[in-house]
A and B are shown apart, each in its own frame.
Chain A
Amino acid sequence: MNGKQITRRQLGATLAGAAALLGQTRTPEPTPNEELEAARERIRRDGLRLASIGIPMDREPAFQFQA
């Protein structure tokens, strides 16, 4: 024993976390490059979705400039 006591609550929290970890299906993490490509692809798709929405020409953006 190193003298450090662990309470039952701490033990419970640790075990719950560990059990939760084990219960999860592990999905491989993408590399930073894959992550960036995926983010760019999301933005590209979002742009296409926005472009497909028709709105009247006189509708101004939702911000105002005041002189």
Chain B
Amino acid sequence: MPDWDDDIFFASITELNQRLRAKEFKAVELTRAFCDRLEKLGPRYNALALSLREQAIRKARDVDGEIKRNRLRGALQGVPFGAKDLLTYAGHPTTWGAKPYAGQVFDYHATVLKKLDDAGAVLVGKLSMVELAGGGGYRYPAASMFGPGLNPWNRAYWSGGSSSGSGSAVAAGLTPFAMGSETWGSILTPAAYCGITGLRPTYGLVSRYGAMALSWTLDKIGPMCRTAEDCAHVLAAISGGDANDPGSSGKRFYYTPQFARKLTDLRIGFAPVDFAEWAEEPARPPFQQALEALKETGVEAKEIRLPDFPYGLVAGSIIAAEGSAIFEPLIESGEVDQLADQKQIAGLKAGLGIAAKDYLKAMRIRRGMQQELRKLFVDVDVFVSPSRFGPASLITEALDRRNTDRTPPKDRGLSDLGAAGNLAGYPALSLPCGFAGELPVAIQLVGAPNSENTLVAIGKEFQKRTDWHKRRPKV
């Protein structure tokens, strides 16, 4: 048994895979070490939903056999990972973070888990999440049957939602990477708050078969990792068409850094007001420095503004209508009252009353929005803005009462990029870029559909020049 030091728990996918191939340790040893750590420290952050130790060790043994026979599968072979508890794993509970579904068991694996298994990755556990991925709109971080996700940088603060456990687990070195999902902010927010790298793929690029649905037209599944390059390796394994997912684009992502466009040929669009006024004061210096570091990579920076649309209204209306329709049986049965968050219960109930004309109007505005947003890519390749305008909030803080005393700047800049990017199905990469006090903050890169290779190329260069993604919390 190797004498593990902490470095191994914070190593990148690429490094772990190289060391496995060099036979420095076996996959089964690595898996045991991560299972021990996840079971011991996961509860400390309310991150662990379910340990899958036995299955993981069996899988790792198979991987060791393959490596021994020189049957190499790629970067993920033998690398442990965790999955948000909204992905089905056959024969085991999939709770969606919500008490009414605590005993729910499916008899099939989610496509992404099947694909990761095929790539040789080792699933060590399911990770906690905000109940129903936040459908209905929650007020408190405690909106989960697992309790509030606690931030490894300071447990008095939230790890973000709704992929809370995925964020905490990667940040605390409990899994080398984790799967998350995003409808509106659920990968980027925990990635930013926990100081890790998160990738929201283009809508339709990754199959959602076997994932809880919250919004058919907005749900995406993506990786949460240590580095931009790790995200690319995971995305390459999980992308691709799936007849079981009606939203599947049939496209696939191939990680091709050798064909990436030169950074000096790229233009990034940003709005100064995001960094100078929208950002909370303690986060402004790291955001400004991150923008400077990006410019130093050789990309051309250009000021830009989003077309004028009510992005938040449209995203909120669509998610509320689709989410309440999806959970109609839960709502009508009254079991919805077992959820932990009163605002969320009310939001789900009220969502059933959204008029068809309102939903359709929102979807029609969305079409026009998409057409106008596309025009921006004539001038720039990528938008850049803070992932969140400040660091994590306290776990006791009401999320809908944060910053209500602040007057928002008149210039909207790219402050709606989260809603706009999700509505348009654009990919996004969140990169840690410093600290506000003791808590991490991050910037997001948002690109045109299927531009993940460009986002990763910029992210990789940014991470070559900075070391924020290598910082570790004291766990």
Contacts and interface: CB of A to CB of B under 8 A. Distances in A.
Task: Determine if chain A interacts with chain B.
Answer: yes
Interface of A: 9, 13, 16-17, 20-21, 24, 27, 29-30, 32, 35-36, 38-40, 42-43, 46-47, 49-51, 53, 55, 59-63
Nearest to A39: B350
Range of interface residues on chain B?
Answer: 35 or more
Nearest to B351: A43
B156 A17 contact: yes
A46 B367 contact: no
A35 B346 contact: yes
B131 to A, nearest CB: 16
Nearest to A23: B394
B394 A50 contact: no
Contacts of A21: 396
B367 A62 contact: yes
Interface stretch (B63-71, B177-185, B187-195, B312-320): B312-320
B349 interface: yes
B156 A59 contact: no
Contact of B367 (A13, A20, A39, A59): A59
Given A35-B343, A62-B217, A20 B368 contact: no
Given A39-B350, A55-B365, A61-B366, A27 B398 contact: yes
A9 B474 contact: yes
B217 A46 contact: no
B363 A43 contact: no
B317 A46 contact: yes
A61 B366 CA distance: 7
A17 B365 contact: no
B361 interface: yes
Contacts of A60: 364, 367
Given A16-B156, A50-B358, A61-B364, A43 B320 contact: yes
